[in-house]
Structure 1
């Protein structure tokens, strides 16, 4: 058993906005006005990195490697401390991205008005990252400062539809959404069609409260492509979900609190995130992760530099640092999600040999070829779809 520290709260433990009625649709309309678009021409930023060696970094909880030691009462973050020592850049690090929509609400007024939001770099999931890029709120990156990123970014992540040249974003960590089951209580569940129809599973399964995760698979079951679909396909997928809810097949919709129920056998199978499953498997070998017949949803959480951030080059230095394979492997060994850095698997031989063959950190090409992404949505469409989804799941 590895002695590496394990995060107490997973990166997605707090992603329960939809289930709690706090989906992006509600938050986006909270101020009663549409989000204001900007552009590189209308919202100019000045970079002070040459004279100010500082960086303000907002990230998700438990999404940075930690040490058991403390200095002046503060937890040591080893790779970040090494970055500071190597570059002389002092990082103010805060784990205050508790929910994509909630964080959007924190910064929307400033960024919409072309004002500083108090951060030089933050991390958002694909669908929300796409929204902020589409609104013109994110600075264009200088790839001359990102040689490690250009060299080592996994091929499958290089050209998302919402940022095809990675001009505005760099993946921080990546994950898979598939199926998990507890082999102590049920036989293998190989597809979402089975998960949502088998009689022996009725009332013993959960789905995720994040709309893109769950609706991706409803679309797949309808024969549609989650990365490119129209309203007709959406409506059919939504009707399918409503039927599953009405049948009682689905016990509830969750954030990553499904892990406790799955571990205890209160549920026997579920839609699941890969990092959660890997953490569970460390103590419970009965927990299995399945590549379902419908494929796997692939998502990333992305590093972004907002408009009016005054330390873009410093942020780019941090991005480039974390794309060094050994640094990336060290981080991946702690957070347990897919490492987006080519070469990190070889580096893991030295960092933590037990994880070299982990398919949930280093999936092979066969697995990655079965992945798909959810279509980027503009603000109006996202609000409509999130409202539809909340109504369907009873949120």
Structure 2
């Protein structure tokens, strides 16, 4: 089971809407109120919240995490690692009361999807990192990921892992190559196509298929795309909208082509070499799930050290080899390529972990949906997706 197969993203906005419905405003916190007295020097520990199955584990003892164990041994910092994030909105709802009321959350470091990171950054709920303490991040972070729309220069966020939203299909059953988003609408695929149900997971690739620059798309672009999807829903061309259960549909043959995540397909291909993943010629979305230091974190310096540790190419390589998503440290490729282990060396040539130049030219990070846009857009999209 892949890490993302546990994701239950439903388009975002639910937590904020619930808070607004209770009459509680999402309170912005100014820069001068985000920090707390840092205990890192005298208190050698930190609390790190992440998703399940998103860090390397020992084959013989799943409670051991080799890369994290090595960090603790090197630094003397005790890391309390929790796998408590199963859904972006659910986790937002869990910690937002503390953050909006300017209270500690009990967590120093978290990993959430960039579209949700955008919300935290806008609300002022995370602290700016000190890059003077993070030379590896400064040196090795992939240029494609350095300056997303919501966090220019990555002052508040650092990618943990990255990935691509593209198209997966069964080449043998389809009988031809798929190269464009528009290929999903071919008559012989009617009823055998799925799209991702989450607004933030689905819309960018569909806009790219319409030739839209997703770094600066507009409301008109969004509604024009929805009009097209609505026609495909009404004609029953789209079989359904899915979370990560598209994996099951594609494996069984119930679906021939679908929107998909790059990391999932690597694992599908191990069982079925007929499964292909493509970045459409019009482009694909590059996304990340990123590390952030929360407001009032008591171990900010320790958290920054841990982040920088994972940007050492050797450490990034070991993590990439285990999780199989796009590595945000391109220099890790050379580490894997030089491995005497054949399987590890082959990972260095996998464009779904280290995209080649041709693929990189077609990747873009979509601008985020603003808080003003989200209510309108989510209502339209959720009606289409049956959410």
Normalised by the length of structure 2, the TM-score is 0.94
- The answer to whether the 8 A contact 1:174-1:340 is kept is yes
The residue aligned with 1:45 is 36
The residue aligned with 2:221 is 233
1:266 Cα offset (Å): 1.6
Residue 349 of structure 2 is aligned with which of 351, 357, 364? 357
The residue aligned with 2:378 is 386
1:37 Cα offset (Å): 0.5
Q: Secondary structure at the match of 1:161?
A: coil
Deviations 1:143-165 (A, max 9, x none): 01100110101111111121111
- The answer to whether the 8 A contact 1:191-1:293 is kept is yes
Matched, 1:101 2:93: no
1:129 Cα offset (Å): 0.5
**Cα distance in 2 for residues equivalent to 1:43 and 1:147:** 23
**Cα distance in 2 for residues equivalent to 1:324 and 1:221:** 36
| Number of aligned residue pairs | 379
Residue 332 of structure 2 is aligned with which of 321, 344, 351? 344
Deviations 1:12-32 (A, max 9, x none): 2233332xxxx4222222132
Residue 35 of structure 1 is aligned with which of 20, 23, 26? 26
- The answer to whether the 8 A contact 1:12-1:255 is kept is no
Write out aligned runs for 1:1-395 (5 A).
8=1, 10-18=2-10, 23-31=11-19, 32=21, 33-70=24-61, 75-187=63-175, 188-195=177-184, 197-348=185-336, 349-350=338-339, 352-395=344-387
The change in CA–CA distance for 1:301 and 1:115 in structure 2 (over 3 A counts) is same
1:223 Cα offset (Å): 3.3
Q: Secondary structure at the match of 2:31?
A: coil
**Cα distance in 2 for residues equivalent to 1:386 and 1:219:** 16
Q: Secondary structure at the match of 1:304?
A: strand
Deviations 1:24-68 (A, max 9, x none): 222222132331100121333221100111111111111101112
Q: Secondary structure at the match of 1:57?
A: strand
- The answer to whether the 8 A contact 2:77-2:302 is kept is yes
1:309 Cα offset (Å): 0.8
Q: Secondary structure at the match of 2:161?
A: strand
- The answer to whether the 8 A contact 1:281-1:287 is kept is yes
- The answer to whether the 8 A contact 1:25-1:387 is kept is no
**Cα distance in 2 for residues equivalent to 1:217 and 1:371:** 10
1:316 Cα offset (Å): 0.6
- The answer to whether the 8 A contact 2:180-2:209 is kept is no
1:310 Cα offset (Å): 0.5
1:312 Cα offset (Å): 0.6
**Cα distance in 2 for residues equivalent to 1:43 and 1:299:** 27
Q: Secondary structure at the match of 1:298?
A: strand
Structure 2 stretches lacking a partner, 5+ long:
none
221-230 vs 147-156, greater mean Cα deviation: 221-230
- The answer to whether the 8 A contact 1:69-1:75 is kept is no
The change in CA–CA distance for 1:317 and 1:61 in structure 2 (over 3 A counts) is same
RMSD over aligned CA atoms reads 1.4
**Cα distance in 2 for residues equivalent to 1:184 and 1:224:** 31
Q: Secondary structure at the match of 2:255?
A: coil
**Cα distance in 2 for residues equivalent to 1:42 and 1:327:** 34
Structure 1 stretches lacking a partner, 5+ long:
1-7
**Cα distance in 2 for residues equivalent to 1:321 and 1:221:** 38
In the TM superposition, structure 1's runs of 4+ consecutive aligned residues that sit over 6 Å from their partners are none
